[in-house]
Chains A and B, each alone.
Chain A
Amino acid sequence: DTGVSQDPRHKITKRGQNVTFRCDPISEHNRLYWYRQTLGQGPEFLTYFQNEAQLEKSRLLSDRFSAERPKGSFSTLEIQRTEQGDSAMYLCASSPSTGTDLSPLHFGNGTRLTVT
C-alpha cells in the first residue's frame, strides 16, 4: 500500500504566478477529494471526484482554481494568478466506493503553498 502521494511537498511562488499540484490516490480508490488547510484550522472541502467526474465543488473554489482527473486516476489542482491568501496546505484524499457504507478518507501528506 503506497498510500496517497502528493507532489510537490512544498511550493513557493510569487503573487500572480500559476501553480499546479498533483495527487496520486491509492490505486483502487475511485473517489478523490481536495481540501485546503490553513494554520490553526481544520481541512476545508474544495472539490470531489468520482472516477473522472467532478461531482461537487465548494464555493471556496473560485474561478482561479480548477481541478481535473482526466483518466479517473491521478488528479491535478491548478491555481491561476495566485494571491497571498492562497497560502495554505493543500490536501488530497481518496476512498473506495463501497456501496452504502461510508469509507473513511485516506489523506496524503499535502502540498504546502507559500505565495510571496
Chain B
Amino acid sequence: AQSVTQLDSQVPVFEEAPVELRCNYSSSVSVYLFWYVQYPNQGLQLLLKYLSGSTLVKGINGFEAEFNKSQTSFHLRKPSVHISDTAEYFCAVTPRVRNDMRFGAGTRLTVKP
C-alpha cells in the first residue's frame, strides 16, 4: 500500500516570503501525486496534480510542485505568499492502477503580515 508523509505539521511565514511544504511518499507501484488545499470551514480543493510528463507542475494561485522520483518527494513551493494562502495543505498519492487516494496528515500554513 502507498503512504504519504508530510514532514512539517505547521509552517509559519511572513507575507511575501517564499515557502516550501515538504511531502514524501512510499509505494511499490507507480503513482499519481496531488496537492489539495483546505481553507477554514471549506472542503478540499485541488491545487495541482502530477500524472506524467514534466516533473515541474504548476497549479492554481501561483503554487508549483516538483516530482522527484529518486527521492520519492513531491514538495510544494510558492515564491511569494499572501495572507490569503493561510490554510491546511494536503499531499495525496494514488496508484496508477486504481483510484485509492491516500492523504498525508496535512501542513498548516500560516502567513503573517
Chain A hits for B100, CB < 8 A: 45, 48, 56
Give min CB distance, B11 to chain A, whole Å. 15
Q: Please choose the segment from B12-20, B39-47, B79-87 that sits at the chain A interface, where 4 or more of its residues have CB less than 8 A away.
A: B39-47
Q: Is B32 an interface residue (CB 8 A)?
A: yes
Q: Is A87 an interface residue (CB 8 A)?
A: no
How many chain B residues touch the partner (CB < 8 A)?
26
Most B CB within 10 A of own CB, among A33, A43, A106: A43
Chain B hits for A85, CB < 8 A: none
Q: Is A109 an interface residue (CB 8 A)?
A: yes
B90 pairs with A105, CB closer than 8 A: no
Chain A's interface size range is 20 to 34
B51 pairs with A42, CB closer than 8 A: no
Q: From B94, which residue of chain A is reached at the shortest CB distance?
A: A102
Q: Is A25 an interface residue (CB 8 A)?
A: no
Known contacts A40-B105, A42-B4, A42-B105; is-contact A31 B99 (Cβ 8 Å): yes
B44 pairs with A107, CB closer than 8 A: yes
Bound CA span A42–B45, Å: 13
Chain B hits for A63, CB < 8 A: none
Residues of A60-116 at the interface with B, using a CB-CB cut-off of 8 Å, are: 91, 93, 95, 101-102, 104-110
A105 pairs with B106, CB closer than 8 A: no
A102 pairs with B105, CB closer than 8 A: no
Q: A42-B6, A91-B43, A105-B46 are in contact. List 18 more A-B contacts (CB 8 A).
A: A40-B9, A40-B105, A40-B106, A41-B106, A42-B106, A43-B90, A48-B99, A48-B100, A91-B44, A102-B99, A104-B34, A104-B46, A104-B49, A105-B44, A107-B36, A107-B45, A109-B42, A109-B43
9 intermolecular pairs with C-beta atoms under 8 Å apart: A40-B106, A41-B105, A42-B90, A42-B103, A43-B90, A93-B44, A104-B46, A107-B36, A107-B45
Nearest first, the 8 A-B pairs at minimum CB distance are A42-B103, A107-B43, A107-B44, A109-B43, A104-B46, A43-B103, A42-B90, A42-B105
Please give the residue numbers on chain A whose beta carbons come within 8 Å of chain B beta carbons, in ascending order: 4, 31, 33, 35, 40-45, 48, 56, 91, 93, 95, 101-102, 104-110
